Amino acid sequence: MALNQNQKPPSGAYIHTVRESARSARERANITITDEGIQRLLLSPAFTLTFPRLRTAHGYALPLAFPSPAAELNVLAILSLLNFGSGYRVPLHAATGRGAFDTIRAFIFGMYISSDAGENYLTARGMSNISTQTVAELLGVAGKIHVEKAHESIPGLMVGELGGEVWELVRLVTRVMNETGEVLVEGGYPDLGAFVLEALREGKKAKDEETSCDVVLERLVRGIPAFRDIAIVEGNPIYCFKKALLTIHSIARRFGISNSGSSIPVPPGTERLPIFVDNVIPSLLVHLGVLDLSTSTPSLGLAKIFPDAGTPEKLSSLLAEAANTSDPKTARDRTKEPPEEGPVLTVEQAYVLRAAAIDACERIVKVARTLDTNGREDLVWMKEITPPEVDAWLWAVAKDRPDYRKLTRFVLRDTPFF
């Protein structure tokens, strides 16, 4: 099994192959999804009381003043490009007190602020030239990237050298920045936003909504290596494209209907895109009883990675209404608690779980739209939910509830895809 960024889907079928490869991978792995398990979640207080509030919370609102829509588009695109590092959540909390996404957001803020001081790392050339030292400083981890080891020839002497998990992430961010910048420079683009804008304009010419999104997705994936979120598992491709899909959706949300006068051509129909799958969503779907790994193919070794998930006692607690967390002191103390490291997976295991989550969210939407809610008018919104909204809820509720924050998420390091 290996990553293979060159085995791309057929032109014009990128979105379709995301869904189909996910469904096929889940079925081959024998990971179970039942309508009963989905209905149990959909009708639970945990879902019904929070979904309307969290259904659009992808965390992409940026408190920055942009000189133009093109400048904002560029920053949104870079935020999506660098939206990875989930495998370093625990060491990042230890180093900065923040998780992976919040660390990357802080990095984007740092680059944006430094661009006013003459060091513009948001341009193609700036990205191609940024150094590991600068990345470490802007990530706020410059003092956390050394490990101590015994001196080779002086007994009892310890020396510091670059290394450790945070250093791995610094190198990964630098590599993605440099690689993307070089591609953009070679293509004659001043920045990533210009490349994305060209893709959006091509998509605008398409004949229908799904084709429009597909054109944009294909351009992003074919053009930028860090968007090629592909793995080959037992000879079969799994296409996730988390960051590229999220780029399209976040642009549509920012420059869509409420900004109809914007110069950014927004692709229609992004509410029907597949989910933007990371490690949080599959892990939470296991904990909430939607994905059953106990039936999975033994050779994958997934059956026992979350040993306490799915028990009646656990589900009863997790699907109930959240405990009252309005006490400010309790909330402050909660944010200081370091997260617990989850199971470290292979690339094969991680991609199969991510594929299962994509398929599960498609199924959740289908079940929700046909669900008998016993005439409850307060649940009419359930007939209209979309995969991106289910994605947003799962991602946001994992941070929203103290008991959910403590749930372990699987870990895959050294990946620029999630």
Average pLDDT, integer, range 253-273: 81
Please state, in angstroms and rounded to a whole number, the distance separating the CA atoms of residues 353 and 343: 13
pLDDT at 145: 73
Query: To the nearest 10°, the Cα dihedral for 137, 143, 147, 152?
Result: 100
Burial (CB count <10 Å: 0-12, 13-18, 19+), residue 305: buried
Q: What is the pTM of this model?
A: 0.91
Least confident of 17-21, 224-228, 322-326, 361-365: 322-326
Please state, in angstroms and rounded to a whole number, the distance separating the CA atoms of residues 279 and 242: 11
Average pLDDT, integer, range 156-183: 87
pLDDT at 150: 65
Segment (H or E) for 270: none
Q: Angle between the 132-139 and 100-115 helix axes, to the nearest 10 degrees?
A: 110
**The Cα angle at residue 240 between residues 33 and 266, in degrees rounded to 5:** 115
Q: What is the DSSP string of 328-363?
A: HHHHHHHHHSPPPP--B--HHHHHHHHHHHHHHHHH
Report percent pLDDT > 90 for the chain.
Answer: 76
Highest mean pLDDT among 5-19, 137-151, 166-180, 321-335: 166-180
Q: Minimal CA–CA distance to 26: which of 311, 292, 304?
A: 292
pLDDT at 329: 47
Tens digits of residue pLDDT in 44-96:
999 999 999 999 877 787 888 899 999 999 999 999 999 999 999 999 999 99
401's tokens: 């509830």
